[in-house]
């Protein structure tokens, strides 16, 4: 099986959005929760090979391993949802200090063509360090849900301002796909640090507070 990451779904300018790439590979694993580890930046506009099925799936670029996915057991203490109004207010406190390479990220970048998610999380007053933002999208899919709960974690753990920090691992569970145009709220919160690893939790809620999806993440800070 071969898949291609279209340039539309870029994270950095020259590789795929981490959450989107993880979601594409996770779809090949027969499990409710899936752990995906990124080994290399997923290249754009090039056929990649998906090898394996069921328990372990590998994404290959020639002989190079780009990512691995496997079933996982995911437990996470998820904070109570944030209202749509509170998420809109939090969005006004979005701190945009990302390296230029992430300027057009599918999840949190600025796109002139409007084909990105435009998830700009900011701190929720009175619930710091919780971050939140509203998100509505016209073509939700399994991998787009993974993308929506990707970048918010980087902002919650303070990865912004630490150089070209990238997603190293993401474990997620998607309960359902939002309807087309359905308004949702993304939240994100820190889970600690371990050396160059920054740990985060993220979740996607429907307007009525229903939990749609959630994830645990490991972000990798570049060496000095």
CA-based radius of gyration for the chain: 16
Q: What is the pLDDT of residue 140?
A: 92
Neighbours of 194 (CB within 10 A): 9
Q: What angle do CA 152, 141, 18 make, to 5 degrees?
A: 40
Task: Give the pLDDT confidence of 117-128 residue by residue, as tens digits.
Answer: 999 999 999 999
Say which DSSP state 16 is in: B
Query: Tens of pLDDT along 146-193?
Result: 999 999 999 999 866 666 789 999 999 999 999 999 999 999 999 999
Say if residues 155 and 149 touch (Cβ distance below 8 Å).
no
Domains, the chain, in order of start with CATH, read 2-71 (3.10.129.10), 84-220 (3.10.129.10)
Residue 98's pLDDT is 76
């Amino acid at each position: 099986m071969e898949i291609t990451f279209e340039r539309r779904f870029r994270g950095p300018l020259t590789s795929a959005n981490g959450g989107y790439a993880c979601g594409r590979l996770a779809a090949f694993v027969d499990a409710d929760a899936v752990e995906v580890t990124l080994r290399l930046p997923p290249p754009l506009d090039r056929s990649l090979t998906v090898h394996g099925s069921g328990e372990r799936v590998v994404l290959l670029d020639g002989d190079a391993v780009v990512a691995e996915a496997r079933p996982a057991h995911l437990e996470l203490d998820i904070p109570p949802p944030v209202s749509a109004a509170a998420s809109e207010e939090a969005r006004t406190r979005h701190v945009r200090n990302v390296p230029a390479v992430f300027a057009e990220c599918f999840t949190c970048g600025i796109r002139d063509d409007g084909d990105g998610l435009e998830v700009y999380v900011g701190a929720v007053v009175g619930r710091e360090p919780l971050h939140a933002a509203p998100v509505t999208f016209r073509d939700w899919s399994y991998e787009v849900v993974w993308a929506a709960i990707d970048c918010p974690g980087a902002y919650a753990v303070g990865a912004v301002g630490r150089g070209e920090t990238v997603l190293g691992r993401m474990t997620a569970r998607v309960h359902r796909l939002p309807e087309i145009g359905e308004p949702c709220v993304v939240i994100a919160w820190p889970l600690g640090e371990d050396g160059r690893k920054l740990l985060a939790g993220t979740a996607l809620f429907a307007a009525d507070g229903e939990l749609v999806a959630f994830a645990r993440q490991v972000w990798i800070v570049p060496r000095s």
